[in-house]
Structure 1
């Protein structure tokens, strides 16, 4: 016996209580529209799993990048040089029998009067397994001059006697990854004299920069400066040959600092506290120049702390990969519900304007093919790059769905229309993902236009199925 809640099917008779109007409503466009919406929402579940897969692969790529950087060299930070001169103050504390001698240790850190940094950066991609990372070989020359120190920098805070340890004066320079230095570093004084740098930042501690997370264990190097040199002021010249990856940052250590960097990498990302005042970017590389005056630097000429200054005021360049496809695919998945809805909406409008009838289960199968598109895009992008992977995955999804709809409806025209619709929407999605800055604007305009077309294309549709003749036996499948 058929219950009151049973739905009529070809092999099950229609219950007497089911009126023609009820049957027409169940087969109406409104019910079909609701079912398609439900299918769209259900497809968000596998979409979420695909997004988790993308993030997992991105984490794996970052882990491999860290391994490459650990072997080659991490993000580099050049901070300095600074002239550090230790001194002590001896004074008496208390009176009478309780009087005692107190010795305080101090440090005076002097900035170069002028600092010029010139660097040539040769970038290449190092690969491990299926992952790669931009790495570089850098040749930098730091030159400039230290003025004769102002004696007032050695101040007696408690009115005691000062003892300047002139023989312990050192030139200190912070480097993000000292292990990546490829040659000995020498401090040249400009008259044929020189002093070799030693490992460590000596009297100054180096803290990680807020700009470069790759420099997880920054350190430094130091070189002794004879008293006759630093007391009268001196010229200096330092040549650095070092490896690095991802980015290169330089601190404006001079009272006036000029930095000139050139590289063969055509995708620079300039960042930091200061942007270059002049830059030229082409397919063969870039040239950039920074000029930072004393006032813009924002700190005094003499530093009295025991840690390296200007770690939070660096400037530099990141060697950006042209397409970070993990980020692009993850971002495209955020538009998945709109992407799938747009395809379903286009098919639904075509269905209403023609004699084709697509079952809601077929909508679900088409949607699953679109989800597989994202998986194929991720898998192929790791091997052949994002653009080729998108072409392969989009072509596969378009051909499969068009062939499926065409054979299901036994209509070559339906298959060709489906192919054209999918090809157009995939092309729009590709352009949308390439325009990172305008993606939201373009996406909102496309959504508005799609809704407007749907509203006017379905203006004369009887959504309820209650109009005369709507209850015909060959009505729309739900």
Structure 2
């Protein structure tokens, strides 16, 4: 008889113990980490799929454009003396070994005016921003200085001089390219260079009256090219001036040099920007002997951004999933403990699964609408579902309203944090401090003595 009473009292203690309830809630939170991790993987998978589709669109239209040039290329001879012993004459024979190398001279001035017509191309539910750039390029070459390398005039092969332009995107070129130097026009032809990150365009050998032997000579080039995401230039001119006009309203200016803040203009109809880069601002000189250097790190330009990345925001929202589940369970735990209403572990599990459904709704709706609308629809659906369920298990409209208000405030708080960038940590810390303070005040009503 006494044993049965002990079993009954032990069973009753298990049922009413606050400590046991807390352990149960904690275990359920850990269990719900499994579907949350699957949801985060789903968001990442969809984001990767978006990147693949965007890359495919860009490859067919034209990848990003990086322009390097024009550059004057002049070959020259290097002499080396080779001595060989002749047993017959008992003397050394001397042979002049000639090696051909190239000198590269950057323009004295380089002016680029670019008009960028942008648009979005879509495939299924994914979009990429592409553009067509109409560029007017002009400048001048001054007389090359070979004296710095002690190269004699007779070793300079002026008759083999050419002009080259490097670009990362030959596929996107939509106009026949002719470089006008002085009074002559030179078609640009593609030229393969092994182990190069850029594609090279080169003229045929320049005529005598196109060579800047004794005085500077001007050049100009019209270029129409399709590209995607970025348009960048390397400031090879002793003075480089670049101006851009575009109908894209969300530019990101990147690279080593930013545009002039006095002339930069961004409106809902597009942007205007101007750059001026002097030789003294660069990390490289005006001429190179031997081979053309890799100076892509000095590039500058613009990146055309899709204004909203739904997957990035959805992933940020999912990182707060643990917090949402823990705080929601805490609300039900406090209601259960204070009001003495029994809530079965299965009911906690159903509430937790409803909370995880928020993120699947968010990612699926945001693929077809804006993140704001998706967040509102998903949040409203989950709040209504859990509130109605709370009404059924708690048998109280007052508690249902408290649960609905708590969830609405929590989702609003997380939405504000997601939108913020510079102040996300500050607002999040203040919000969590206020939540903790509220929980501490409410938990004072719990009677821990009978546990």
Aligned to 1:30: 19
Work out which of the residue numbers 382, 392, 415 in structure 2 matches 1:397: 382
Greater mean deviation of Cα atoms: 351-360 or 432-441: 351-360
Aligned to 1:199: 190
Aligned to 2:176: 184
CA distance in 2, matches of 1:98, 1:452: 96
Per the alignment, in what secondary structure is the counterpart of residue 427 of structure 1?
helix
CA distance in 1, matches of 2:5, 2:335: 34
Question: Does the CA contact (< 8 Å) of 1:108 and 1:153 recur in 2?
Answer: no
Aligned to 1:429: 414
Matched, 1:438 2:438: no
Residues 274 and 458 of structure 1: CA distance in aligned 2, closer, same or farther (over 3 Å):
same
Question: Does the CA contact (< 8 Å) of 1:116 and 1:144 recur in 2?
Answer: yes
Work out which of the residue numbers 207, 220, 228 in structure 1 matches 2:209: 228
Aligned to 2:281: 296
CA distance in 1, matches of 2:153, 2:187: 33
CA distance in 1, matches of 2:290, 2:369: 52
TM-score (norm: length of structure 2): 0.89
Question: Does the CA contact (< 8 Å) of 2:115 and 2:135 recur in 1?
Answer: yes
Per the alignment, in what secondary structure is the counterpart of residue 422 of structure 1?
helix
Residues 15 and 284 of structure 1: CA distance in aligned 2, closer, same or farther (over 3 Å):
farther
CA distance in 2, matches of 1:301, 1:36: 70
Per the alignment, in what secondary structure is the counterpart of residue 16 of structure 1?
helix
Aligned to 1:9: none
Alignment of 1:403-422 (within 5 A): 403-422=388-407
Tell me by how many angstroms 1:90 deviates. Answer: 2.6
Aligned to 2:87: none
CA distance in 1, matches of 2:431, 2:40: 23
CA distance in 1, matches of 2:195, 2:239: 22
CA deviation string 1:213-241 (max 9, x = no partner): xxxxx313122433433323211212211
Aligned to 1:76: 65
Matched, 1:93 2:88: no
Aligned to 1:380: 365
CA distance in 2, matches of 1:428, 1:130: 29
Aligned to 1:219: 199
Residues 178 and 101 of structure 1: CA distance in aligned 2, closer, same or farther (over 3 Å):
same
CA deviation string 1:7-40 (max 9, x = no partner): xxxxxx9942247588447523333233222222
Question: Does the CA contact (< 8 Å) of 2:104 and 2:292 recur in 1?
Answer: no
CA distance in 1, matches of 2:337, 2:290: 76
Question: Does the CA contact (< 8 Å) of 1:207 and 1:308 recur in 2?
Answer: no
What is the count of residue pairs matched by the alignment?
440
Question: Does the CA contact (< 8 Å) of 2:413 and 2:431 recur in 1?
Answer: no
CA distance in 1, matches of 2:179, 2:299: 23
Tell me by how many angstroms 1:352 deviates. Answer: 4.6
Tell me by how many angstroms 1:349 deviates. Answer: 3.8
Residues 43 and 97 of structure 1: CA distance in aligned 2, closer, same or farther (over 3 Å):
same
Tell me by how many angstroms 1:112 deviates. Answer: 1.0
Alignment of 1:43-442 (within 5 A): 43-94=32-83, 96-97=91-92, 99-153=94-148, 155-156=150-151, 163-189=155-181, 192-200=183-191, 207-208=196-197, 218-224=198-204, 225-229=206-210, 230-231=212-213, 232-278=215-261, 279-352=264-337, 354=339, 357-442=342-427
Greater mean deviation of Cα atoms: 346-355 or 100-109: 346-355
CA distance in 2, matches of 1:220, 1:142: 17
CA distance in 2, matches of 1:100, 1:399: 94
CA distance in 2, matches of 1:17, 1:78: 85
Residues 346 and 146 of structure 1: CA distance in aligned 2, closer, same or farther (over 3 Å):
farther
Unpaired runs of at least 5, structure 1: 3-12, 209-217, 467-478
TM-score (norm: length of structure 1): 0.85
Alignment of 1:457-472 (within 5 A): 457-466=442-451
CA deviation string 1:141-181 (max 9, x = no partner): 2222211111315534xxx9952221221211111110101
CA distance in 2, matches of 1:304, 1:206: 19
CA distance in 2, matches of 1:341, 1:271: 41
Question: Does the CA contact (< 8 Å) of 2:338 and 2:446 recur in 1?
Answer: no
CA distance in 2, matches of 1:207, 1:441: 47
CA distance in 1, matches of 2:328, 2:303: 38
Aligned to 1:211: none
CA deviation string 1:81-128 (max 9, x = no partner): 111111122331226535333222211111111112221212111011
RMSD, aligned CA: 2.6
Per the alignment, in what secondary structure is the counterpart of residue 447 of structure 2?
coil
CA distance in 1, matches of 2:4, 2:251: 72
Per the alignment, in what secondary structure is the counterpart of residue 178 of structure 1?
coil
Residues 241 and 280 of structure 1: CA distance in aligned 2, closer, same or farther (over 3 Å):
same
